[in-house]
Amino acid sequence: MISKRGQLSQKLYYKAINDTTEHLIFDTWNIHSGIRYELYDIALSPDEKYFFAAFDKNGEEYPFLKVYDIVNKKWLKDSIPNCLVNTRKA
């Protein structure tokens, strides 16, 4: 995740092993037109084919999960409301 000073949106990039180019996966202000997301947390699936992102929409403070298909480079249609990704162990 790269958030530059003074930048309002959050962006997630990836790099391939033998590639120095950063490829944009998403910008929180460009996932859906007219909606501003804030990323709370992110987790990778055990098979590393998907990642799960917990977002807040337009400052509503009701986080929900969206799933990104890494192989096909697209968000899955459905989301899971009122939850957070918890990647930290107690």
Residue spans of the domains in the chain: they are 11-80
Per-residue CA distances from 76 to 2, 27, 32 (Å): 23, 16, 13
Looking at residue 11, what is its pLDDT?
Answer: 84
> Which residues of the chain fall below pLDDT 50?
89-90
Q: What is the pTM of this model?
A: 0.69
Strand (E) or helix (H) holding 53 = strand 50-57
